[in-house]
Chain A
Amino acid sequence: MSDNNILIEVKNLCKYYNGDKIKALDGVDIDIRSGEVVVIIGPSGSGKSTFLRSLNLLELPTSGHIIFDGVDICDKKVNINLHRQKMGMVFQHFNLFPHKTVLDNMTIAPIKLLKTPKDKAVEEAMELLERVGLADRAENYPSQLSGGQKQRVAIVRALCMKPEVMLFDEPTSALDPEMVGEVLDVMKNLASEGMTMVVVTHEMGFAREVGSRVVFMDGGKIIEQGTPSDIFDNPQSPRLKEFLSKVL
């Protein structure tokens, strides 16, 4: 693959708390290419969520660089809001806006930020809802949806901004087991359509099946990365072996 395919280039990313006593991220380097599905796994406290959240600067890195679309978004002069519009994010706890209907949840950002005319935004949102099978829920409020439905709405809400990359922060961890499948299916479809995705998850099945690259993090560092079969069938480092022996 050539270098001009690189969508996000992370260089020596560090995040320290309490001065430098707690190192949540300790020098992370990674390139994320267009169309890739990068799945990040690791034990809790390994820094994988912190890493994902610093990709759109919800977490401010202490040092390092994140070059997205050729711009170093860690530069203080960069208007991060414009770049965040191109990075969709899906949260563990959905974070739908409870005071707005499903449709308003989806259209508020395109209408206010991209200045999309309302009827066009509604049309696009309805198309997306159709695709995830929730068109009949458009006028409902989030409190009237199940967990799986909420997360599917959260995914299409992010898609409404036509992002270049989608960040998933443990999207199925807060779901009842029988609802995990419907959310993973939406993500699988998204991946097959060529969306660039970075996914933090505990769903090893998903990582193996959908991931184009699996990254194992521990102690704020990337310990090992490779294709799903490299990681799951032929792990090298003892920490990854130990981790896999616990979760598989």
Chain B
Amino acid sequence: MSSVSAWFNGLWTDITLWFDGFSDDFYTVFIKKDRYEQMLTGLENTLIITLGALLIGVVIGIVVAAIRSSYDKNKESLKQHGGIGCFILSFLNFICKIYLTVIRGTPVVVQLMIAYFLIFVSVKDGVPVGIFAFGINSGAYVAEIFRGGIMSVDNGQFEAGRSLGFNYVQTMWYIVIPQTFKAVLPTLCNEFIALLKETSVAGYVGVMELTKAGNSIAGVTYNYFLPLLTVAAVYLVIVMILSWLVSRLERRLRVSER
């Protein structure tokens, strides 16, 4: 009997020791010198860059997808009609293709550093540059996601709209685009998750975002365990909230499929 209770006592001591150590670590990593504030600043910057880039990305994505799919859908009729409209659309389509090729063909870190060290040399704050670079980058992926969504809608839908007398833009607006949302949503959510996590490289241009904050605390306190796991947990929670929101939205959009 006594040996069992001794074993339990020993275990208890171990546990309390570990907790003491943990609370010491916790104190050094988060409380001492108000280091948690660094984490909060990091989280704030990560969220600002992500949301800003998201906004820019969606706007660019819509514009580029609109140009690319209008070109594809109207190619034939434009060739026959010719004129300035054909030239402008072909030119815009060409520009968009170059944009997509360059942006998707190079790493986002490199783009970020080019933006910070070569283009916006005079801007000392990395956050707006980060928003810009990640926005431009995300726009390329969002554009292709939207274009894929538009292409996935059966051409008969487009023809039905046109046959009723809707013009090209009205047909897109009332009939094709509402149908793309459902198809596009999961992939778009993927892109947003990827974007959130990609902002972790903003530290390369001196932005104190979440990962950088964790890393710098770890560097100062020589404790990697707590800061890095905390950073990972924060990303995880944000992604989980985002996925939950999107799945709710999907359920609402699925009404017409009963």
Contact = CB atoms under 8 A, between A and B. Distances in A.
B179 A84 contact: no
Contact of B164 (A99, A143, A144, A158): A158
A143 B256 contact: yes
Given A99-B256, A108-B174, A144-B258, A58 B167 contact: no
A161 B76 CA distance: 28
Contacts of A82: 165
A141 B256 contact: yes
A115 to B, nearest CB: 12
B5 interface: no
Given A84-B163, A109-B164, A113-B164, A93 B256 contact: no
Interface band, chain A? 20 to 34
18 contacts: A56-B163, A76-B81, A81-B162, A85-B165, A88-B163, A93-B156, A97-B157, A97-B160, A97-B175, A98-B256, A99-B178, A100-B256, A108-B174, A112-B170, A143-B256, A143-B257, A158-B163, A161-B165
A89 interface: yes
B159 A91 contact: yes
A113 B258 CA distance: 30
Nearest to B181: A99
Interface string B159-185: 111111111001000110011001000
Across chains A and B, which 6 residue pairs bring their CB atoms closest together, nearest first? A85-B165, A95-B160, A89-B163, A95-B156, A109-B164, A141-B256
A87 interface: yes
A88 B162 CA distance: 11
B46 to A, nearest CB: 35
Contacts of B3: none
A95 B174 CA distance: 14
A157 B162 CA distance: 13
A60 interface: yes
Interface on chain B toward A: helix, strand, loop, or mixed SS? helix
Nearest to B165: A85
B160 to A, nearest CB: 4
Nearest to B179: A99
Contacts of B166: 81, 109, 112-113
B250 to A, nearest CB: 14
Interface of B: 76-77, 80-81, 154, 156-157, 159-167, 170, 174-175, 178-179, 182, 255-258
B80 A60 contact: yes
Given A144-B258, A161-B165, 20 more contacts: A56-B163, A84-B162, A84-B163, A84-B164, A85-B165, A87-B163, A88-B163, A89-B160, A93-B154, A95-B157, A95-B159, A97-B179, A98-B179, A99-B178, A99-B182, A100-B256, A109-B166, A112-B166, A112-B170, A143-B258
Nearest to B167: A81
Interface string A51-94: 00000101010000000000000001000011011011101010
B159 A81 contact: no
Nearest to A87: B163
A50 B72 CA distance: 21
Contact of B165 (A60, A81, A96): A81
A150 B119 CA distance: 57
Contacts of A112: 166, 170, 174
B86 to A, nearest CB: 12
A232 B201 CA distance: 76
Given A76-B81, A81-B167, A98-B179, A58 B162 contact: yes
A60 B76 contact: yes
Contact of A109 (B156, B165, B178): B165
A161 B161 CA distance: 12
Contacts of A85: 164-165
Nearest to A90: B163
Contacts of A161: 164-165
Contacts of A113: 164-166
Contacts of A98: 179, 256
